[in-house]
Structure 1
């Protein structure tokens, strides 16, 4: 479990996050949602240590991340997998090399062990026999799956996904959502997904934190979000024409 307590963050004179608290449970797909500029990505960066909040705490299974010394933080970071919005694949490396990179960096595995692990996670995301292809030779959806394979190639406890469906067609988006949820359950990891995709919210939102103007104004899940009674959240949910029609039918 990851817990955030009273997180506040500013850049210069502009405050982005205001006293945010919440618990992201292990074995669940935990979503942080909200419109553009509401602080979703800033909160995620605070959780992983890329941003340092002025106030508050971040706890990884009870371990105080922000107060940890260099060695303790390094250990916690070894337990983290990241799926980036832009994939962040190395264009000069083939798929096998991209996925193997965290193993090269963080483990003492020999080459055969690393290759076995790479093949295992590529198979898990449905990408057998693409090892020698270059990122430029595969589709956007496949790149996301490579990114997910790389994120889980180590023995992780925490998985972070920043807008994993960005730029994908609906079918590829659904596949990525399903893979994230399946892997979360199989590995029993604490997964946090930042998204504004309502298909993801309704499909895999086992816990949802909704941010508005840098504040945590609602928490729930996909079963309760459509009847939240929170006006700002309802405006966000029913912004699209399809969702407006759904709203009238409720």
Structure 2
């Protein structure tokens, strides 16, 4: 479990995050949702330590991460896997080399063992046999799958996904959502997904935190989200549903 206690962050006297507390559960797909510019990505970066909060703390299974000494931070970072918006694969490395990269940097594992691990993760995401493909040779959805394989190759305990469906068509987005959800349950890891996609919310939202203008206004799950009396949340849901209806009618 990841705990966030009273976290706040400002840039140039502009308050971005305001006194946010939340819990993200092991074995669950935990979502951070909200409109663009509401602080979701900044919140995620504070949790993983890319940004230091002005106030508050983050704990990984009871271990204080915020302002911890470098040895503690290094131990926790070895347990973190990241899936970035565009997949963030190295263009100059093939698929196998991309997935193996965390093992090269963080472990002294023998090469054969690394390769076994890479192949296992490729098989798990449905991409077996594409080891020598370059990122330029695979589709956007395949890049996301390779990104997931790289994120879990080091037996990660924590998986962070920043807008995993960005740039994907609806059908591919559903596949990526289901893959993230299945891997979370199968490996019993703590997964946090930043998204503004209501399809993702309804498909995999085991636990949901809604941010609005840097504040947490609601938390719950996909079974209770439509029953919320939070006006801002209902506006967010309605805007997403309306946009999908407009696109459908135009199509």
State the TM bucket, normalised to the shorter chain: over 0.9
**Counterparts of 1:14 and 1:68 in 2: how far apart (Å)?**
26
- Give the superposition deviation at 1:109: 1.0
Maintained 8 Å contact 1:238/1:244 = no
Maintained 8 Å contact 1:83/1:147 = yes
- Give the superposition deviation at 1:156: 1.0
1:171-203 Cα shifts (integer Å, max 9, x gaps): 110010001000000111110000000000000
SS of the residue aligned with 2:144? Answer: helix
1:122-156 Cα shifts (integer Å, max 9, x gaps): 00000011000000000000000000000000011
Task: Point out 4+ residue stretches in structure 1 off by more than 4 angstroms.
Answer: 242-245
2:182 paired residue number: 182
Q: How does 1:60-209 map to 2 (within 5 A)?
A: 60-209=60-209
**Counterparts of 1:119 and 1:56 in 2: how far apart (Å)?**
40
- Give the superposition deviation at 1:227: 1.3
**Counterparts of 1:244 and 1:113 in 2: how far apart (Å)?**
49
Question: Normalization by structure 1: what TM-score?
Answer: 0.96
2:249 paired residue number: none
**Counterparts of 1:5 and 1:167 in 2: how far apart (Å)?**
33
Unaligned residue ranges in structure 1 (runs of 5+): 246-250
- Give the superposition deviation at 1:241: 2.3
Question: Normalization by structure 2: what TM-score?
Answer: 0.96
1:8-28 Cα shifts (integer Å, max 9, x gaps): 000011010000001001000
2:41 paired residue number: 41
Unaligned residue ranges in structure 2 (runs of 5+): 247-251
The count of corresponding residues between Structure 1 and Structure 2 is 245
1:241 paired residue number: 242
2:29 paired residue number: 29
- Give the superposition deviation at 1:108: 1.4
Maintained 8 Å contact 1:125/1:149 = yes
- Give the superposition deviation at 1:243: 6.9
Q: 1:236 to 1:93 in 2, by over 3 A?
A: same
- Give the superposition deviation at 1:60: 0.4
